[in-house]
Structures are given as C-alpha cells and as structure tokens.
Structure 1
Amino acid sequence: MQINGIDEKVLVARMISGDKTAFELLFRFYYPGLIVFASQIVLSTSEAEEIVQDFFVRLWEKRSNISNNYSLKNYLFASVKNSSFNYLKKEKIKENVIADLKQVVKEHFLYEADIYINSELQSELKRAFEKLSPRTREVFSLSRLGGLKNDEIAQKLGLSKRTVETQISNALKILRLELKDYLTLLLLFELLNL
C-alpha cells in the first residue's frame, strides 16, 4: 500500500527507527478511519478520539516492538478494537459498582441520616473537611455533594477544568488520609461523581 507515494512498509521501518515524519504520515492516513471504527463500538466520537489518540501514543512509545512483517492496517484496527472493548468493560464495571453502591446506600442502616447526627463519624467528617483549603472544600463540595460536573464547577467558579480536577484530586488525597478508618465512606466520595 502507498501512503503519500511512499510504500507503507518503508514508512513503518522509518517509524520503528524513530522517524517522526513517517509516524505522522501513518497517523494522518489511519486516524480518521480508526475514529469511525472505534466510535461504532463505544458509540461516542469523543471517547473514540481519546482511545485512538492513546493508542497512537503507545504505538510511538513501543515502536521498537513492532514487526514489519505483517499488515499495519490489521494491527492498528485489531489494537483499537481491543482498546475499545477494554474501555466498555471498564465503563460497565464502573456502572455496576456505582449501581451496587447506590443499592447498599439505599438499604443499609449505616447510611441512614440519623446515625450521623452527633456521631463520631460526623465529627471525623467535619475535622477532615477542615483540613481542606477553602477553595478545595468549595470545589469538592460542589462536585461530590452538589453533583455538579467538572465543567459546570469550572464555569461557576471561573476556574479552568484542569484546576477543578486538581482540587478534587487534592481533596480526595487528604480525605483518604484523614478518613482511612471509614473506607466505605471514602469509596462513596470517590464514586459519586464518576
């Protein structure tokens, strides 16, 4: 197969030896088709783009492991298909975990509001939240307790989405440390806004 007048096997050999131009030509040639292919599996163009981009990053990083003896097209499509199925599997597992947790929260006596009034856990929660900076506490509360998405929080507070993600990550690190004896509660905080 010819890509921009160059034999594909020549481009693959050049890519394996570290030629970024050859890699870019292969990327530009296969990227649109791989996006359409992956989006048929995951039913989301944005997720398909992320899957394909991640795959090409790995391809470049592990280019020395590639053999030039087989069809690059077959390799690319098989790899993206596997990555797409792995994405679906991960999403399904996450969905199931959240559904199970919601059921536990609904049925288990430990999640009844009255138990937390004037309880040790309420004191521990208050103490843990006081360890957060005011901005981190605000961002985390809007996310996990207010149910807002990161984009919505960023817009509401005039922050970048990346800053919001960093604040939430920092809050979870501190709360993991401060509430290590309350594992189920921590799990709930981490899953609430996934």
Structure 2
Amino acid sequence: MTLVTLVNGGDQRAFDELFLRHKTALYRHAYHMTGDTELCNDIIQDVFLSIWAKHAKWTVHSTPLAYLYQAVRHRILDHISHEKVVAKYMDELLHFQSEGNCFADEHLLEKDLFALIEEKKQQLPNRTKEIFELNREQQLSYKEIAEKLHISEKTAKKQVHNALRYLRTKLAFLLIPVILTLF
C-alpha cells in the first residue's frame, strides 16, 4: 500500500511518515521562496494540517512530494498576494493619518480588527475552525467538545492550540503597524 492510500484510510503513522520523509525538502523549497524561517514552518504545518483535515478525500495525481511542493508553492503565493493587499491598505491608512485625519471613533478600528480576525479564522481547516469556535465562541470545555464531536480531549485541546498559534502568527505582523498609527 502507498502512503497516500494509508493516509486516506486515516493511518496516523503513515501521515507521520509522510511528514518525516518530506519536511526537510519542503522546508528548503519554502525557504528558497521566502527567506523566512518562521513563515516556512507555518506554511508547511498548514499544508499538512490541510491534508490531514481532508485525508479521506486527499488525492495525489503524481507523487506525494510533487503534490506537497505544489501545495507549499501555492500557500506561499497566496501569502505574498495577501501581503501586497495588506501593504496597500496600510499605505492608505498611513496616508489618511498623515493628512491630519485621525480615528474619531475607535469603534471603526475595532470593527476592522474583528473583521480581520474573522477573515483569518476562515482560513483555518474546517475541523480546526469548528473546534476553535466551540471553545472560544460557545465557551465549551475541551471535554464537552470531545464528547460532542467524538474526539479525544487531547485532540480538542491541540486543535484550539493550533488555531490560536495560527491566528497569532497571521495577525501579529498586522497589529504592530495599526498600533503604531495610533501614536
């Protein structure tokens, strides 16, 4: 049986083997494109989280490594595209402030921030997003989530941790410029 077939069947060891076999090559590929160690690790983690989230339907048309290279490349290009949009938005925000305008209503800034958090949350894998929302928005404990979704408490806790880590990473670089514009 191939690793893909085993992963499709939910074999955690096969998934771990897939990761261990290809993580170094993927890291080199990502680093060559970005030059950012933390971003490389985040993108590789996102790719593998995405694969595991859809493991039963995961299809590979050539080789797992070719699929993974392509997935990493697409994530990096998405990230770069998003960075350009954010940079444009920040330039407009700085221009707005430099003309003597200021935020008379902090509610606008708060609204934008919540919209940004929601946008980033939508990028989480569906299962991770579901678990995160149950914990953070519906205030369910890990035990309650585990019972509701028929998973272990450890899995629920890990998924919430992964979601928080992802959101912190994605939002940290955006919050610093916004905070600086307030001073």
Matched, 1:98 2:90: yes
SS of match in other structure, 1:110: coil
Aligned length: 116
Matched, 1:43 2:35: yes
Change (3 A) 1:25 1:41: same
* Aligned-residue RMSD, C-alpha: 2.9
Q: CA offsets per residue over residues 18-75 of structure 1, 9 Å max, x none? A: 0000000010111111111111112201101001101100001111222255211111
Q: Measure, in 1, the Cα distance between the counterparts of 2:97 and 2:21.
A: 49
Matched, 1:58 2:44: no
Match for residue 71 of structure 1?
63
* Stretches (4+) displaced over 4 A: none
Q: Give the TM-score, by structure 1 length.
A: 0.52
- The one-letter code matched in structure 2 to 1:28 is L
Change (3 A) 1:68 1:47: closer
Q: Which moved more, 1:43-52 or 1:60-69?
A: 60-69
Match for residue 151 of structure 1?
none
Structure-to-structure mapping, 1:1-194, within 5 angstroms: 10-107=2-99, 109-111=100-102, 121=104, 192-193=178-179
* Aligned residues with identical type, % of pairs: 22
Q: Give the TM-score, by structure 2 length.
A: 0.55
Looking at CA atoms only, which structure, 1 or 2, has the larger radius of gyration? 1
- The one-letter code matched in structure 1 to 2:101 is L
Residue 193 of structure 1 and its aligned partner are, at CA, apart by 4.0
Q: Measure, in 1, the Cα distance between the counterparts of 2:59 and 2:49.
A: 17
Structure with more relative contact order (C-alpha pairs < 8 Å, separation 6 or more): 2
Q: Measure, in 1, the Cα distance between the counterparts of 2:32 and 2:81.
A: 15
Q: CA offsets per residue over residues 158-189 of structure 1, 9 Å max, x none? A: xxxx9xx9xxx9xxxxxxxxxxxxxxxxxxx8
The gaps in structure 1 that reach 5 residues or longer are 1-8, 129-161, 170-188
Aligned 8 A contact 2:8 2:58 in 1: yes
Aligned 8 A contact 1:51 1:83 in 2: yes
Aligned 8 A contact 2:8 2:56 in 1: yes
Change (3 A) 1:69 1:106: closer
